[in-house]
Amino acid sequence: MVDYNLRILTQKGHIRRSPDVSRGIGLAGNKEGFPRNMIPLLGFVAAGEPLTLPSSEGLTKEDAYDQVELPTAMLSGIRLRGTTDLYALRVRGHSMIDALVDDGDLVVIQPTTSVNDGEMAVAWLREENEATLKRIYNEGSVIRLQPANVQMAPLFVSPENLEIQGRVVAVLRTIV
């Protein structure tokens, strides 16, 4: 059974085997041995008090100040609706800590202008020229931007003052 699985992994190009060496198994290709995708890291998003940012209108991959590698296998597990044109933002703040998103984490964003109630999204507050990362709830005449931290109060904004920039599809954390 083990030999069968190793043969399959070898045929798919994920590992390489050295038949003349005891336990001669290694990862093929890049460091992890799996195909990878590069997505642009475009900046920061506040998870706390909204953060004043330059307008994101017209922001393109060429504006990225860094790149983030994502394994193809990770992307295949993400339920993408519509565009697959993803980008990453670094989180500043602790308002989403109970959703396991903390200061310094990277969030992978799928651009969209609308989200379902309860989805975590990047919300642009037009009048304040600020962006924040929150769960979004449409409550009729107002939109509630709900932090995932019991020590922080929700923000209530008018629909005219809110622009959804994208929804969070993955969180990446570096453990040092």
CB atoms within 10 A of CB 115: 21
Lowest model confidence (mean pLDDT) among 2-11, 139-148, 161-170 = 2-11
The set of catalytic residues is 95, 134
Q: Where are the domain boundaries for CATH 2.10.109.10 in the chain? A: 35-172
**Res. 61: pLDDT tops 50:** yes
Average pLDDT over residues 125-145: 94
Of 69 and 149, the structure prediction assigns the larger pLDDT to 149
d(CA 34, CA 42): 25
- Give alpha helix (H) positions in the chain: 2-11, 72-76
pLDDT, tens digit, for every residue of 74-104? 776 666 665 568 889 999 999 999 999 999 9
Q: Using an 8 Å Cβ cutoff, are 61 and 40 in contact?
A: yes
Q: Look at residues 92, 78, 54 and name the one whose alpha carbon lies nearest to residue 167.
A: 78
- Which pLDDT band, with edges at 50, 70 and 90, does 176 fall under? low
**What contacts 138, CB < 8 A, 6 or more positions away?**
117, 159
pLDDT at 54: 45
Which CATH number describes the domain made up of 35-172?
2.10.109.10
What's this model's pTM, rounded to 2 decimal places?
A: 0.72
